[in-house]
Amino acid sequence: MLKPLLVLSCLLPVYLMAQSPTPLPPIPSAQHLAWHEKEFYLFIHFGPNTFTNKEWGEGNEDPSIFNPTDLDCNQWVNIAKLAGAKGIILTAKHHDGFCLWPSKYSSHTVRESKWLGGKGDIVRMLSDACRKAGIEMGVYLSPWDRNHPQYGTDQYNTIYLNTMKELLTNYGNFFELWWDGANGEGPNGKKQVYDFKRFEDSAFRWQPNIIIFSDIGPSIRWCGNERGIINSTNWNLLDTAGFKRGEGSPAMDTLNRGNVNGKHWMPAEADVSIRPGWFYHPEQDDQVKSPETLFKLYLQSVGNGGNLLLNVPPDRRGRFHPADSAALVGFRLLRDQAFQHNLFRNASIQSKPTSDKRLEQLLDENNATWWMADEANPVEINLHLKRPTRLNSIVLEEMIAYGQRVQAFELQAKLNGSYQSIFTGTTIGRKKIATFPAIETTDIRLTITSAKAAPILRNLSAYFMEGH
């Protein structure tokens, strides 16, 4: 099975004092390191659009249309846990301005709906369910508001801040605050000039450990598409000077790859929906992504060093549809099966130009231990298996607490008496899942052919994934 995740933010200082490699800036914060370990969590789009069959509401919907018949946040959380998701991010307010909590600063909320006689609060229900189940929660709070009469005025920035304060001070700690760059017209025909600096400063004041997502962070970045795919070259670094959220963002390719010498640690999050749409539409019940498709997306996001944010929209009852639930559980089963048996667990390991006992820490399945090469490149690591072994994937991990270093690497296997290339890659980062046609071998060679500084790796593991 996969090794248990450790709280790096607690363990890191001990190892820094004991070994103290020189970090290669920029480096991740403790909050970043905790975020990286989550890997996979759910997005939930839910609101009036669920009942109007729209993707983007107009903001003039009658609140009474929002009336789920059997809403159950515990069901969302239970399915999320069965899927192995580490958290849930809720669209507390989408572009239509409808608030899933009874905000004091809007008249377009669950309070004005028929649901529970106007006494409901989905943010409260979900935060309670997450806390009870032991998974984390985040919120999406759209700055664009197609309903609020003050949108497009200086006063709206204060109104938006007040709604954000309600969320960040009344419902416990959130692991992530999610912003997109949408900025259209409000009911008065005007667009808003967002005061994002004020928004950021306030969010960090109310919740210092929160991670903030957008095109340009300030904590993590969008991957540049809504297909759930991160480029095989993925730097956790980004330059943001001169860029804005939305239309002024960096190029999509830059967001997908990062900047090789970026000034800020800003890793990529890949968002994608389990259905063609982001909100529930009954005609899409037979278009839910299969477990196999979800696993492929996992390999193309988490397997390229980022995190996967998978949207699962509740239906008009306020529950996950059986088709979505089945796909999520099947996805978990595929991951568990794929990474159940680490074929490097009892391998012997050596390195060139030098080899030392610390090298064995690459195989100890401990996220807090690591090995550092004596020089930047080339670095060669040789692994020997006790018997011929069939495998089709190798997982590599850098100790990113000291920065992202590897620029290029190659994996070779001894086949028919000589080494042959089975995978060439660029970045590794927090995790690289290298997949290739199945081979049978006793010897694997990893060569790091280019690095910014002496590579620091924390884990190497190998697997045979059925059906891949």
- Inside any domain, residue 187: yes
Q: Are residues 334 and 360 in the same domain?
A: no
Q: Are residues 269 and 294 in the same domain?
A: yes
Q: Are residues 271 and 132 in the same domain?
A: yes
Q: Are residues 334 and 366 in the same domain?
A: no
In a structure prediction context, what are the per-residue pLDDT tens digits for the chain, which is 468 residues long?
Answer: 333 333 334 444 333 434 579 999 999 999 999 999 999 999 999 999 999 999 999 999 999 999 999 999 999 999 999 999 999 999 999 999 999 999 999 999 999 999 999 999 999 999 999 999 999 999 999 999 999 999 999 999 999 999 999 999 999 999 999 998 889 999 989 999 999 999 999 999 999 999 999 999 999 999 999 999 999 999 999 999 999 998 899 999 999 999 999 999 999 999 999 999 999 999 999 999 999 999 999 999 999 999 999 999 999 999 999 999 999 999 999 999 999 999 999 999 998 877 666 899 999 999 999 999 987 678 999 999 999 999 999 999 999 999 999 999 999 999 999 999 999 999 999 999 999 999 999 999 999 999 999 999 999 999 999 877
- Inside any domain, residue 31: no
- Inside any domain, residue 59: yes
In the chain, how many domains are there? 2
User: Domain range spanning residue 212?
Assistant: 39-338
Q: Are residues 242 and 301 in the same domain?
A: yes
Q: Are residues 244 and 381 in the same domain?
A: no
Q: Are residues 289 and 357 in the same domain?
A: no
Q: What is the CATH number of the domain that holds 313?
A: 3.20.20.80
| SS3 readout for the chain | CCCCCCCHHHHHHHHHHHCCCCCCCCCCCHHHHHHHHHCEEEEECCCHHHHHCCCCCCCCCCHHHCCCCCCCHHHHHHHHHHCCCCEEEEEEECCCCCECCCCCCCCCEHHHCCHHHHCCCHHHHHHHHHHHHCCEEEEEECCCCCCCCCCCCHHHHHHHHHHHHHHHHHCCCCCEEECCCCCCCCCCCCCCCCCHHHHHHHHHHHCCCCEEEECCCCCEEECCCCCCCCCCCCCCEECCCCCCCHHHCCCHHHHHHCCCCCCEECCEEEEEECCCCCCCCHHHCCCCCCHHHHHHHHHHHHHHCCEEEEECCCCCCCCCCHHHHHHHHHHHHHHHHHCCCCCCCCCEEEEECCCCHHHHHHHCCCCCCCEECCCCCCEEEEEEEEEEEEEEEEEEEECHHHCCCEEEEEEEEEECCEEEEEEEECCCCCCEEEEEEEEEEEEEEEEEEEECCCCEEEEEEEECCCCC
Decide which of 320, 338, 356 is a domain's last residue. Answer: 338
Decide which of 303, 338, 373 is a domain's last residue. Answer: 338
Q: Are residues 188 and 228 in the same domain?
A: yes
Question: Which pTM does this prediction carry?
Answer: 0.94
